[in-house]
Homo-oligomer: A and B are copies of this chain.
Amino acid sequence: MSRIAVIIDELFEDSEYTEPVKAFKENGHQIIHVGLETGKTVTGKKEQTPVVIDRDLDSVSADEFDALLIPGGFSPDKLRANEKAVLFTKAFVEKEKPVFSICHGPQLLITADVLKGRKITGWTSIIQDIKNAGAEFIDREVVEDKNIISSRNPGDLPAFIAASLAKLK
């Protein structure tokens, strides 16, 4: 069983949260929602899925978790403006813990400055940002580069979930 942190804020892409989390839970893993304010409910941008933040960024450390999920939508744009969210994300990459990034997820990794020389995919609008960050953008449903697993959009979810589950103990 792994303890998986989901870093999340308002306007996340609903299915990029709900589907991986459902699969992780069904496989016996534990989900902890990490965000800007403990107890706050954040909502998805299409279906208004409610998510209650379990732990805020002031009190968490990557050491408490085995992996990190970064759902897409506009949530990563909001989180990357917060230095603690950026440092929390950076720690997972540097400690070589699995990081599952989909859609706009790489925005957090770009601000964390951990993509130089890495292979990654993501949403169309951020392709230039990914390249400018020194990463190699790959247009494929799932890209695995050591501890970083990434996908482009909700259509890639089956491949994203399968690759992510395979990475968990």
Interface residues, chain A, with chain B CB atoms under 8 Å away:
74, 77-78, 80-81, 107, 110-111, 113, 123-125, 127-129, 132-134
Contact = CB atoms under 8 A, between A and B. Distances in A.
Contacts of A77: 74, 77, 125
Contacts of A81: 123-125
Nearest to A77: B125
Nearest to A128: B111
B125 A110 contact: no
A103 B99 CA distance: 29
Nearest to A76: B125
A107 B129 CA distance: 9
Most central of A107, A110, A132, A133 by chain B CB within 10 Å: A132
Contacts of A132: 110, 129, 132-134
A127 B80 CA distance: 10
B111 A80 contact: no
A70 to B, nearest CB: 14
A104 to B, nearest CB: 8
A110 B129 contact: yes
Nearest to A104: B77
A125 to B, nearest CB: 4
A134 B80 CA distance: 20
A13 to B, nearest CB: 12
